[in-house]
Amino acid sequence: MAVFTPLNDAQVSSFLERFDVGNLASFEGVASGTENTTFFVTTDRAPLVLTLFEQGEHDELPFFVDLLDYLAEHRLPVPGPVHDRQGVALQSLAGKPALLFPRLPGKFPKHPSLAQCEALGDALGHMHFVSQRFEGHRPNPRDLHWLLATHHQVLSYLSPSDQALMSDEIDTYQGAFENADTLPQGAIHGDLFRDNTLFDGDRLGGIIDFYNGCTGDLLFDLAIVINDWASDADGSLNRERHDALLRAYLARRPLTEAERQCWPLMLRMTALRYWLSRLLVVYVDPPAHELTPHNPEQFRTILNRRITDGALPLPA
């Protein structure tokens, strides 16, 4: 599914000659991607991943390269792009922008254990600690401004009560966030769901798919993570996973008072962000491929639970 641009042996072999990574042994298309063409490439020296960028803003790729370079230099478990013999990472192959990465070990956890939550919280806290000094800049493409500008496109597909829910929520965020103290800023992953991690047992092998990466509120990233990693099927927060993840995160980066104040609303805003982005995929801008879109209802349920139940107390 994810091979939108097929490649042959000769193309991959000659591409690899630009790098000091050894000679091609084998390569195969990866089925699980949705936006880009991904190949697992094995040389006589290393397992690698080759990505061809099929869509999105290609002029934003240098931001992603710089961010991954920076995080890899700071010993975060991310695939730092391989640079060629001239020191350049961003390449062109078959007419598409291309990057080569180390292949990181593991697979994503469908049902994360407490140890996996703890490992992810530790890595995210470490990432946010160092990412405050990252010098790149890319405004968050899914922030409150985007919610405000975009939500009108889906309202007509919703029931009257869901229309009111969405509009009232966005009004609430506007009132609260526009008057809040500035929250700590830095580079964020922007979409750190379970399926963007690789675990080898309880060891975090890697955090991947940084193409929602941007700069903005660190709390936004943390709320996305808690809503995905610590929600039960009914949308409620699972206290054990919540506490395991947050305890490890807070040991790396304590929250400021302003962040603590905003936390319950940030959980709601990031739930609505996915309700909306999934609705847009279903009703407004369906993808060219036939993969089943993610279910928007899951995030409406999470949003409703956060409104009804509030946030859990943050662990000490």
Binding residue (CB under 6 A) for ligand ADP from 15, 21, 27, 36: 36
DSSP characters over 207-242:
E---TT-EEEEHHHHHHHHHHHHSB-TTS-B-HHHH
Question: Could you tell me the CA-to-CA distances from 168 to 152, 227, 272, 297 in Å, in that order?
Answer: 13, 20, 11, 18
Of the candidate spans 27-35, 132-140, 215-223, 225-233, the one that interacts with ligand ADP by CB under 6 A turns out to be 27-35
Interface mask toward ligand ADP for 167-206; x: CB under 6 A: -------------------------------x-------x
Helices (H), the chain: 9-16, 61-73, 114-131, 144-150, 152-155, 160-177, 218-229, 239-252, 257-279, 296-309
Interface mask toward ligand LJ64HWYM for 271-290; x: CB under 6 A: ---x--xx------------
If one asks whether residue 193 binds ligand LJ64HWYM (CB under 6 A), the answer comes out as: yes
Interface mask toward ligand ADP for 71-100; x: CB under 6 A: --------x---------------------
Of the candidate spans 138-146, 208-216, 262-270, 300-308, the one that interacts with ligand ADP by CB under 6 A turns out to be 208-216
Question: What string of H, E and C letters represents the secondary structure of 32-88?
Answer: CCCCCEEEEEEECCCEEEEEECCCCCHHHHHHHHHHHHHHHHCCCCCCCCCCCCCCC
The rounded distance, in Å, linking the Cα atoms of 104 and 111 is: 20
If one asks whether residue 101 binds ligand ADP (CB under 6 A), the answer comes out as: yes
Query: Residues interacting with ligand ADP, by CB under 6 A?
Result: 2, 30, 32-36, 38, 49, 79, 101, 103-104, 198, 206, 208-209, 211
Contact residues toward ligand LJ64HWYM (CB under 6 A) are: 142, 191, 193, 212, 274, 277-278, 294
